[in-house]
Chain A
Amino acid sequence: MVREPLPVRPSPRPVSGKRDAKHVRRVWEPYQILILTWQGGVRRLCWLPGRVTYARNLLLGSSGTFLPVKGFFSMATVSYRKATRIYPGTQKPAVDALDLEIQDGEFLVLVGPSGCGKSTSLRMLAGLEDVDQGGIYIDDRDVTNLPPKARDIAMVFQNYALYPHMTVYENMAFALKLRKTPKHEIDVRVKKAAQMLQLEDYLGRKPKALSGGQRQRVAMGRAIVREPQVFLMDEPLSNLDAKLRVQTRSQIAGLQKELGITTVYVTHDQIEAMTMGHRVAVMLDGVLQQVASPRELYDRPQNVFVAGFIGSPAMNIKKVQLNQDGAVFASLVLPLTREQLAAARAEGGDNQVIVGFRPEDCDLVSASEGGLPIEVELVEDLGAEANVYGHAAVNGSNERFVVRTDRRHMPDMGETVYIKPRVGQHHAFNAATEQRI
């Protein structure tokens, strides 16, 4: 609600002689001022009992009184436009010119190693962190300098941040009460969220009487009842045990699908990222490396970092020499196309290339088939399959490799096996720029 500035009677213009039309200002008559002041006063009176908040919510539908109609009230896109955060006293930005468009209803996961700026990016969107350069827009509304409360977002924190002195019910109702939502409606919404999250039996309890999983669900519930434009989640599963984490992972993904609310989710766990996100944004040192669907990220990593970060066990990535056919792995040559060869030699790539192949993208072959000989150091038996760790001499240095085999072909420790990457399944990167070629 924008309050018009109170019109003041302009002071008599200095006698300058110039009187072009543009400069003639309106002179307010006293009665007009009186009327405008009166209107301002009435408006101010309306502010008091929160009636206007009620009406505004009714009109704008901003998580006020209506349950959201999917795709109508909760439409929200989020865009980071060159958003930069430099912590005071540091030179290097924590988040460096982040450009990211998040579609309405999308589940976007920010992933990266610790200290890569993913949490900072999220907190910038929440308004808990200043934006030093660039801007952040929700639905093309510039929220860069707005306080958190004006952004209509809900956030789930890593350690849940429940209000310890309030019951589960009060925790969930807190935000609604602040918005002066009518009592019966708060009740309806909290009960509904509690039902979704199987928290009905715990509404009267304090957080300290809840288990970790229950606390996590309360934190989710607190976000859900808000019916915000955007959900923000900052590693919400990292405090749960492994089994519960897997279970809750699918619950959150399902919930998001059901509600259709744009969600930004931060995690350092690439499995979470791959299983939950519609798209995944990989960050390193404050710089966005690649944003793509999980499949795309896995099949076509844009650079060496993404290739090594996504996938477990990690991709085998080695820097090797080029010849006219491709990359030379001792006895093995991984074929590259003519364009790839040209790109590898450009931009200071010299005569080297970085190639990678995933552990599951190679076969164990016999010695005669020309595979790379590897001495087995460790076999991780996962039941259905096994990860074989070993090393091989490549171009004079001892390199480690990981191969995934099925359980019928499990080698023993100390044995020498021959591996051969499957044709066309390897990735090549320029040795200098580390970009995909």
Chain B
Amino acid sequence: MTTVEEPTAAPDPAQPATSSGKVRKAFSSPLASIFMIVVTVLWTIPTIGLLVTSVRPAGDVALTGWWTVFTHPSFTLENYHKVLFESSFGSSGGMLPYLVNSLAIAIPATIFPLALASMAAYALAWVRFKGSDTIFFAIFALQIVPLQMALIPLLQLFNGGAHIGSVTIIPAPNLGGTYVPVWLAHTMFAMPLAIFLLHNFIAQLPRDVMEAAQVDGASHFKIFRTIVLPLAAPALASFAIFQFLWTWNDLLVALTFVGGTADVAPLTVRLSQMAGSFGRSWEVVTAGAFISIVVPLIVFFSLQRYFVRGLLAGSVKG
């Protein structure tokens, strides 16, 4: 068989032959269903509260809890109008420029690691060279290092370059006020996990297909482009969602590397400033938060079938 097969459900539900079949059966019992519904509702309540708050008038928000809306309903879209369009609000204009900034950060910060990691994963999985295993393990081991540890050294590198004594190894790159530091930082932090996930998926592609392509006259790059990329699409898509959501929701990295510059700051930075130091006008924050959720929701729902299948296929065999 040459196709990458997906695990199929056991044909007879009464006697599940595979372990996945057993799990499936256990999850389909009524008790489990009720439990899952309860958990889902509990988990959704904060989000509902957020949504309700975002459409309540500012005065009500300050005085009563969001659940009182069910007995004394009063709704307004004032908050949304405020965050989106009112340039007099807060320190600068509405949210739209920040929305664009967020896209300008998240999209390249997804594409760069995806492109680099898929190539690296192919090379580590299928190109025979000395020390490829060592390199793979070294990259994997990098995941142990928390990114918070790298923030300050990286910031120093971006601001002042690298020096040993008075010798300049890397001159100051002068990247202040651009997106480049955030792109680079996100790419660096994403690489170990990306390579690991994609490597596991790509290494499981059938060997014969690779060899057939070799015999057919394909170079490594051709094999990568015409065989590996199409076949690894589920893994690529799932990692793309992962990375996009991560960069979209990220505050720490963005704040560290472009924090001071309003021109390039993403939505999350703006959101954190909206509330103000004392938590005034947080009804505006809820509206802003809901606007910032829209894009990830679109991405997630358009690619979610890959998200479930691809991640499983990438990390677990089967």
Contact = CB atoms under 8 A, between A and B. Distances in A.
Interface of A: 126-128, 147-149, 153-155, 157-165, 174-175, 178-179, 207-208, 215, 222, 226, 232
A153 B2 contact: no
Interface string B219-236: 100100011001100000
A147 B209 contact: no
A232 B215 CA distance: 10
B1 A159 contact: yes
A-B residue pairs, 6 tightest by C-beta:
A161-B208, A175-B216, A161-B212, A149-B217, A164-B3, A165-B230
Given A163-B213, A207-B2, 20 more contacts: A128-B211, A128-B215, A148-B215, A149-B214, A149-B217, A154-B215, A159-B1, A160-B2, A160-B208, A161-B209, A161-B212, A162-B209, A174-B213, A174-B216, A174-B226, A178-B217, A178-B218, A179-B217, A215-B2, A226-B216
Contacts of B1: 159
A157 B211 CA distance: 9
A222 B3 contact: no
A159 B2 contact: yes
B206 interface: yes
30 contacts: A126-B211, A127-B214, A148-B211, A148-B217, A149-B216, A149-B217, A153-B215, A154-B215, A154-B216, A157-B208, A157-B211, A159-B1, A160-B2, A161-B211, A162-B209, A162-B212, A163-B2, A163-B209, A164-B2, A164-B4, A164-B209, A165-B230, A165-B231, A174-B213, A207-B3, A208-B3, A215-B2, A222-B212, A222-B216, A232-B215
A178 B222 contact: yes
Contacts of A226: 216
Contacts of A179: 217
B217 A163 contact: no
Nearest to A158: B208
Contacts of B4: 164
Q: Which of A155, A158, A162, A164 has the most CB of B within 10 A?
A: A164
Given A157-B212, A207-B3, A208-B3, A163 B219 contact: no
Contact of B216 (A158, A178, A207, A208): A178
Contacts of A232: 215
A128 B214 contact: yes
Nearest to A215: B2
Contacts of B212: 155, 157, 161-163, 222
A148 B213 CA distance: 9
Q: Which of A159, A160, A165 has the most CB of B within 10 A?
A: A165
Contacts of A148: 211, 214-215, 217
Given A164-B231, A165-B230, A178-B222, A159 B208 contact: yes
A216 to B, nearest CB: 12
A149 B2 contact: no
Contacts of A159: 1-2, 206, 208
A333 to B, nearest CB: 54
B127 to A, nearest CB: 12
Interface residues of B, number: 21
A56 to B, nearest CB: 14
A215 B3 CA distance: 12
Q: Which of A148, A208, A215, A232 has the most CB of B within 10 A?
A: A148
Nearest to B212: A161
Given A159-B1, A164-B4, A164-B231, A175 B211 contact: no
A25 B222 CA distance: 43
Nearest to B233: A165
A171 to B, nearest CB: 9
A178 B221 CA distance: 12
A50 to B, nearest CB: 13
Contact of B2 (A127, A128, A162, A175): A162
Contact of B215 (A126, A158, A160, A207): A126
B223 to A, nearest CB: 10
Contacts of B213: 163, 174
Contacts of A160: 2, 208
Nearest to A232: B215
Contacts of B231: 164-165
Contacts of A162: 2, 209, 212
A151 to B, nearest CB: 8
A73 B59 CA distance: 89
A162 B3 CA distance: 8
Contacts of A164: 2-4, 209, 231
Interface in B175-227: 206, 208-209, 211-219, 222, 226-227
Nearest to A164: B3
A160 B217 CA distance: 17
B160 to A, nearest CB: 42
A149 B211 contact: no
B226 A149 contact: no
A159 B211 CA distance: 12
B210 to A, nearest CB: 8
A31 B184 CA distance: 47
A161 B2 contact: yes
Nearest to B4: A164
Contacts of B218: 149, 174, 178
A259 to B, nearest CB: 18
Contacts of A154: 215-216
A176 to B, nearest CB: 9
A174 B227 CA distance: 11
A126 B211 CA distance: 9
Q: Which of B209, B215, B218, B222 has the most CB of A within 10 A?
A: B215
